[in-house]
Amino acid sequence: MSDLEIDRLSKRYGKLQVLTDCNLMAEGGSVVTLLGPSGCGKTTLLRSIAGFVEPDAGRVMVGGRDISMLPPNRREVAYVFQNYALFPHLTVAQNVAYGLTVRRRPRAEIARRVDEALGLVALSDFGGRYPKQMSGGQQQRVAIARALVLEPKVLLLDEPFNALDAQLRLTMQVELRKLIDRIGITSIFVTHDQAEAMILSDKVAVMHGGQIEQLAPPLQIYDRPSTSFVADFIGRANIMPVQVRAGRTDTPQPVPTPRPDGPAVMIVRPENFEVVPGNVAGWPGRIGFATALGATIEYEVDCGMPEALRVSMARAPGSGPLAQGTDVTLRLRSTDGAIVLGRGAAHV
């Protein structure tokens, strides 16, 4: 199992700087997701790994070997396209056999490996069909079989679930993760859907404006975002300007922080706030809007800040939300759960 390492990769198109100094490390056999909003450069980064895009600077290493100078057909890096790009003029079996045919493998070996690969994605009986005769989910499995039959060192997938409907998507995500674990291939995934990133990855690389803002395991990204963009993009977040004095914030409930004195931002997840009645230490405010979602109740609380603070509380059976306009106080459930970042990390 080969590691994949991206080292200070940059790319610009004319005046547009699409990628800036991207670094990424995927240990052998692990799944790393590139997560970010549309247009942040995910596809460009993935295409640079496959060799379809020639970066201006930086290297791509697979198993410790620099592959940056190799043409795309000699990289041993499999790419699953967004709409699968199955050859419409070839049958499913011929599609899967394509890479072996151009390598001039013996006919018997091709037949055996194609059978195995189709079996792996549970499509053994579909070899004679044309791609047009297959459903979206089946086409995706063909694309994966076509990629894996060559035993590549790295598997790259660009938003592979976009073309599928919501129901099928979840099934396929779980199936794919199981398949990757079974064959143990280093995989890089592109998505703009944070739930998908959470399901599939060992590590998430959150991208923003052509840069990788944070690379960490999914829960760590959620609990310890390194920028306010990451905090806001993964789950929801209240972002408040604060001052740090002598190792603590100047908030109603002081939060300890190793940051130096001066301006900072504090990030609080909605579920780390609780709404309590009356006047206790905390953020005094007024219920602006309440939604009961079944398991939770979501409040927007006006605390005199430019934006209302969001709160998410578990709902006790039979209880309902507080009425709009009720005076309440917001308290932190845990001061450890609040994150204090420097102002520099506070761009959204």
Ligand X SMILES: Nc1ncnc2c1ncn2[C@@H]1O[C@H](COP(=O)(O)OP(=O)(O)O)[C@@H](O)[C@H]1O
Q: Which is nearer to another protein, 118 or 287 (CB)?
A: 118
Q: Is 290 in the site for ligand X (CB under 6 A)?
A: no
Q: Is 88 in the site for another protein (CB under 8 A)?
A: yes
CA distance 99 to 110: 10
Q: Is 51 in the site for ligand X (CB under 6 A)?
A: no
In the list 19, 26, 31, 77, the residue contacting another protein (rule: CB under 8 A) is 77
CA distance 340 to 216: 18
Q: Is 163 in the site for another protein (CB under 8 A)?
A: no
- From the list 17-25, 36-44, 194-202, 240-248, the region that binds Mg ion by CB under 5 A is 36-44
Q: Is 43 in the site for ligand X (CB under 6 A)?
A: yes
Strands 186-191 and 283-292 turn out to be: unpaired
In the list 15, 132, 178, 182, the residue contacting another protein (rule: CB under 8 A) is 132
Contact partner, 39, from ligand X, Mg ion, another protein, none, Cβ < 5-8 Å per class: ligand X
Find the angle CA(95)-CA(170)-CA(39) to the nearest 5 degrees.
75
Q: Which long-range contacts (CB under 8 A, 24 or more apart) does 301-310 make?
A: 301/275, 301/328, 301/330, 303/330, 305/240, 309/238, 309/240, 309/268, 309/273, 309/283, 309/285, 310/236, 310/238, 310/270, 310/273
Burial category of 180 from C-beta neighbours within 10 Å (exposed 0-12, middle 13-18, buried 19 and up): buried
Least distance CB 130 / ligand X (angstroms): 29
Task: Classify the C-alpha dihedral 324-330-332-333 as positive or negative.
Answer: negative
Binding mask 11-30 for ligand X (x = CB under 6 A): --x--x-x------------
Q: Is 98 in the site for another protein (CB under 8 A)?
A: yes
Size of the site for Mg ion (CB under 5 A): 1
Q: Which positions touch ligand X (CB under 6 A)?
A: 13, 16, 18, 36, 38-44
Q: Which positions touch another protein (CB under 8 A)?
A: 50-52, 71-75, 77-79, 81, 83, 85, 87-90, 98-99, 102-103, 130, 132-133, 146-147, 150
